[in-house]
Amino acid sequence: MTIPAQREFVLEPDDAERLANLAGPFDAHLRLAELRLGVQIANRGNVFRVSAEDAAAAGRAEAFLRRLYDDTAGEALDEPAVHLRLGAFADEAAPAAGHAGQDVAVRVKRGTLRGRGPNQRKYLQAIATHDINFGVGPAGTGKTYLAVAMAVDALNQSRVQRVVLVRPAVEAGEKLGFLPGDLTQKVDPYLRPLYDALYEMLGVEKVARLLERNVIEIAPLAYMRGRTLNDAFVILDEAQNTSIEQMKMFLTRLGFGSTAVITGDMTQIDLPKHQKSGLKDAVEVLRGVEGVSFTFFEARDVVRHPLVARIVNAYEARDAAAEG
């Protein structure tokens, strides 16, 4: 078993007010640093201990905490300020960074949830460390389920103030016609997979209370224009059915302290034949943009009935043959 590298150090001067400023409410700043730097941080007063998979990662975390403590002398830190400093620090440390970060464990009602397989683990780690995340791949790979789990965990840990569920209202090859009810009731059928995951992780009654208090918000994609979402966890599901304009509009809604997860399956586009998918366009345009992560799932990542993976493979083989 690998023994993690540890560094113990003292932050001077020993000032209780500055230490509280450094840690943030309920140690929120330290938890954010843990996720972004791939370490574990413990402290007693001004004595800190950093644990990491290697000495280099522990050293980077110590350097960041020392720099952040220096800033507490003249500034009251909040989560956006820490977030921006982490981003700047990551840019400086990029040439030396080769660590994969810690394995992300998500605490939900049913217990602790971890990624199955390398792609799911990479996906969870990406969501924990990036503001905009794309999960692209076939049905049954856990794209939406894991995104909802991370949203619930962020809400429970008070890292965000609300969860926003977004989906384009595009029928899957059928015309459903007029749907009765208010706006939420009209889009409910489209968001059923998100609801199912929320019910499993929070319980039906708690989800109903959070919806009533607008802590969980249902937002059809067409109604997102003009908004700025701060301190929110936003999930755009079925993103393959967005237009290029809708995708650009959605991505520019992000505010401070927010995380966006965009999920979709390129093989299930329900747009008119002549219209290019906003998800496909975003993958082409944003690959390589710093701060944006992409996780591409494959048939081997399917966690449903084994036959689903074989079905996905069969369709992929047919499409590849047709293109060839």
Contact assessment for residue 146 and residue 128, using Cβ atoms and an 8 Å cutoff:
no
Higher pLDDT, 76 or 184: 76
Residues of the chain with CATH 3.40.50.300: 105-323
Q: Which residues, at least 6 apart from 40, have a Cβ–Cβ distance to it below 8 Å?
A: 4, 34, 50, 51, 52, 102
| Tokens 């047709």 found at | 322
Average pLDDT, the chain: 84
Closest CA to 34 of 46, 22, 42, 26: 42
Other C-beta atoms lying within 10 Å of the C-beta of residue 204 = 11
Q: Which residues pair with 9 in a beta bridge?
A: 48
The three-class DSSP label of residue 21 is helix
111 φ, ψ (degrees, to nearest 5): 135, -155
Other C-beta atoms lying within 10 Å of the C-beta of residue 219 = 21
In whole angstroms, what is the distance from residue 249 CA to residue 40 CA?
A: 37
The three-class DSSP label of residue 293 is strand
CATH number of 105-323: 3.40.50.300
Phi-psi region of 102 (alpha: psi -120 to 50; beta: other; left: phi over 0): beta
Residues 147-173 have pLDDT tens digits of: 999 999 889 888 899 999 988 875 444
Determine the pLDDT at residue 13. 93
At the fourth CATH level, the homologous superfamily of domain 5-96 is K Homology domain, type 1 (3.30.1370.10)
Q: HSE (CB half, 13 Å, CA atoms) of 120? A: 21
In whole angstroms, what is the distance from residue 251 CA to residue 225 CA?
A: 11
Determine the pLDDT at residue 115. 80
Q: Which residues, at least 6 apart from 220, have a Cβ–Cβ distance to it below 8 Å?
A: 166, 167, 168, 169, 183, 187
Closest CA to 146 of 118, 116, 191, 189: 116
Determine the pLDDT at residue 7. 92
Determine the pLDDT at residue 170. 57
Closest CA to 294 of 115, 130, 87: 130
Closest CA to 92 of 60, 126, 59: 60
- CA separation, residue 303 to residues 127, 233, 297 (Å): 20, 24, 11
Contact assessment for residue 36 and residue 86, using Cβ atoms and an 8 Å cutoff:
yes
Residues 269-315 have pLDDT tens digits of: 888 888 999 999 999 999 888 889 999 998 777 776 667 777 878 88
Residues of the chain with CATH 3.30.1370.10: 5-96
The predicted model gives 71-83 an average pLDDT of 86
Buried b / exposed e along 261-285 (16+ C-beta atoms within 10 A): bbbbbeeebeeeeeeebbbbbbbee
Residues 115-128 have pLDDT tens digits of: 877 888 899 989 98
The predicted model gives 41-49 an average pLDDT of 95
Residue 97 has pLDDT above 50, yes or no: no
In whole angstroms, what is the distance from residue 253 CA to residue 262 CA?
A: 13
